[in-house]
Structure 1
């Protein structure tokens, strides 16, 4: 497949060495902020994703601490990205660092001289070369210590950025690093476990309830469903407007986007349970409405709930008015709810038990359920309820622990800082009435 080009309205990922940032390229005058560096993005238009650009200083306020530096971007080739050690021609190093004293006097250049040098030079290699020349201890450091010093300086003065196409893994890393609470603490390894346990593929109908993950969970499931498929995802959420930043950033084809039906949980449950009643199932309540908590059926924030101050419409006005989009989405979702789903995924900030009671009857038998929560105690209670009811089998409560490693020549070791926990998963498979009787 040909590499797509950057267009206005796209979400892009700006990468500067290991740092990544999700940015919307909304208009030709759009800018992006990378620390103290402000980038003008107009040069990105119609350039292929994966291109590397050089940051060229346009304007800065020299001598003022904390002042922003404005840069234009110039397309460059990968050959310009050369190893800094080879560029500087460094060949000598010390045997150990025992005689080096970190007293802040090793660098002969003052901060004002470095800022002036940064204004005059637009290449990181020239700035680093001056820093090395004026360092009293650089050539007495070990080779590893020299490389660490160069990497640190290159990170600060690196003048190249790469524009990458958004992907699920990149967005998961960005969201988790910026604010883990906005994605409910779902790390990329936990996200992969959710997708794996759910069995999402290009066939079937899938049900998702999430309390707000910036659209990361529906985007990951829709990405696994694919474009040329017949599968459908019903995305339930507690608010009136779903979070869709990750979905919009993926820039999926229109046909694939339409396979995601986003509905308000309380609104669609009310429409489903107050509509045509399903035939009773042996051993269960004669109506699914009994399984719905009263709070779900009378939620005041639902878009279907009229306010008491607004005048009621005449019947003729109601019949002439075309249905709103959320009403059409509710009807599509209700049709799939009657046909039942092949999987249930939940990522709830609230206690999942009551919502699970309402959604569990909507699944076919022998189908997976995956429930994510940041609180182990809530899932333990749900585990015991499901175990007692006998509606779900093969129940497992798990927690992921991922350890990142630095892989370098002769220096492979775990990273010093890492996240300890990324929430808990409760998984299992639904049972039919006959299977429950046998058990």
Structure 2
């Protein structure tokens, strides 16, 4: 992106705050909004109207004693990239040892005490000056190997680094943030698994696509509507089991209004009733499955499992309560009814692919949704439990509704790529769920 096309940060935007390798998704809701990074609290009001990608310096405003030590409050000051120099170059370090055999880790290498370091941190806000003092008072630093010195400097930079970069949310960034913070909130869907789901589903700018997911913080619908793109004819029907769709990731993308309107979020049970209003056999089949497999929502208790809730309130199979708009004007149907009608019309026309990401057993829901998919179209089912997909695999084999069935496991190994020290990362995730894929038959 050039400077002319880079959008500016506005109130109401979701932003990604990056401090070295750490990233955090934050809503910039008002000028009083603050963000917390460990023991650091950042005031975000100075971000307004600056372009995404800008780098800001953390300037200490106030230090308070908290339960977890000193809590520091910072203001942010715009700075240039030239201030982000290499610590090794800034300190002018040129000497190093041949090996570390004579270094004894007895806790006495640093002459400065903890209280001295805290006073130093309050006196000067620049990390380079703090690290310079730590290096000067280290008895073993210049005897370390160059590799050991770099590890020491990186460790201190991570602790005292005073710069943050504000980035615009993307699918990749949000997938990494959600997975690192709490993988259960996105059903353990890692970014490589997400890319395979999008690839297998064949989502593009033309056609109608059906998605059922039972809680991914809006990551799956956001990824699919993003793959459909802007200024296209594609439409996504997003079915979910709760009263309110999880849309945090979708809202964070800040897509054009017309593109957002092509993602129709509806309650699974109410839209099936709308579709089969002259015969409810398919709905009854879904509802007849065990309670622990299909979590039918309660109208009186909205889904609050996500940080952001949609303004669209949708019903369960029980009689919905009228909202304030409907009470004041009985002739105006609530929004969820209009969305149900839009979705039902697309269901009659049928879809070009089916994607499912279910916490419950996918079998009964799949049997209700497969008739809505055109022949020779892909289906993709994600689950964290292999046994559930094995049972679904055997059921589809026996009914001959889907061909070319494959059950795969996703495994990803991350590597550290550095000069003379390339190796797999010490801490990494293993399995990221299972995918069942196939193509529908006539």
Contact 2:15–2:168 (Cα < 8 Å) also in 1: yes
Distance 2:227 2:354 in 1: 15
- The answer for the alignment partner of 1:341 in structure 2 is 351
TM-score of the pair, normalised by structure 1: 0.91
- The answer for the alignment partner of 2:230 in structure 1 is 227
Runs ≥4 in structure 1, deviation > 4 angstroms?
62-65, 296-300, 304-308, 317-320
Distance 1:14 1:294 in 2: 43
- 2:424 is equivalent to residue 419 of structure 1: no
Q: Which of 321-330 and 293-302 deviates more?
A: 293-302
Contact 1:53–1:162 (Cα < 8 Å) also in 2: yes
Distance 2:380 2:281 in 1: 22
Shift of the 122–130 alpha-carbon distance from structure 1 to 2, 3 Å rule, reads: same
Q: Secondary structure at the match of 1:293?
A: helix
Distance 2:11 2:47 in 1: 9
- Larger-Rg structure: 1
Which residue of the other structure, out of 255, 258, 265, is the alignment partner of 1:262?
Answer: 265
**Which consecutive residues of structure 1, in runs of 5 or more, have no partner in the other structure?**
278-286, 312-316, 433-439
Which residue of the other structure, out of 102, 109, 131, is the alignment partner of 1:128?
Answer: 131
- 2:204 is equivalent to residue 201 of structure 1: yes
**Which consecutive residues of structure 2, in runs of 5 or more, have no partner in the other structure?**
300-314
Which residue of the other structure, out of 406, 414, 419, is the alignment partner of 1:409?
Answer: 419
CA RMSD of aligned residues (A): 2.2
Contact 2:243–2:297 (Cα < 8 Å) also in 1: no
- The answer for the alignment partner of 1:53 in structure 2 is 56
Shift of the 318–387 alpha-carbon distance from structure 1 to 2, 3 Å rule, reads: farther
Cα offset for 1:304? 5.7
- 2:181 is equivalent to residue 178 of structure 1: yes
Cα offset for 1:320? 4.4
Distance 1:380 1:64 in 2: 49
Which residue of the other structure, out of 106, 110, 114, is the alignment partner of 2:113?
Answer: 110
Q: Secondary structure at the match of 1:61?
A: strand
Contact 2:241–2:296 (Cα < 8 Å) also in 1: no
Cα offset for 1:293? 3.4
Cα offset for 1:300? 6.8
**TM alignment of 1:29-428, pairs within 5 A:** 29-61=32-64, 66-275=69-278, 289=282, 292-295=285-288, 301=298, 303=315, 305=317, 320-428=330-438
Distance 1:145 1:306 in 2: 65
Contact 2:242–2:296 (Cα < 8 Å) also in 1: no
Contact 1:63–1:115 (Cα < 8 Å) also in 2: no
Q: Which of 9-18 and 58-67 deviates more?
A: 58-67
Q: Which of 408-417 and 363-372 deviates more?
A: 408-417
- The answer for the alignment partner of 2:13 in structure 1 is 10
TM-score of the pair, normalised by structure 2: 0.90
Contact 1:63–1:112 (Cα < 8 Å) also in 2: no
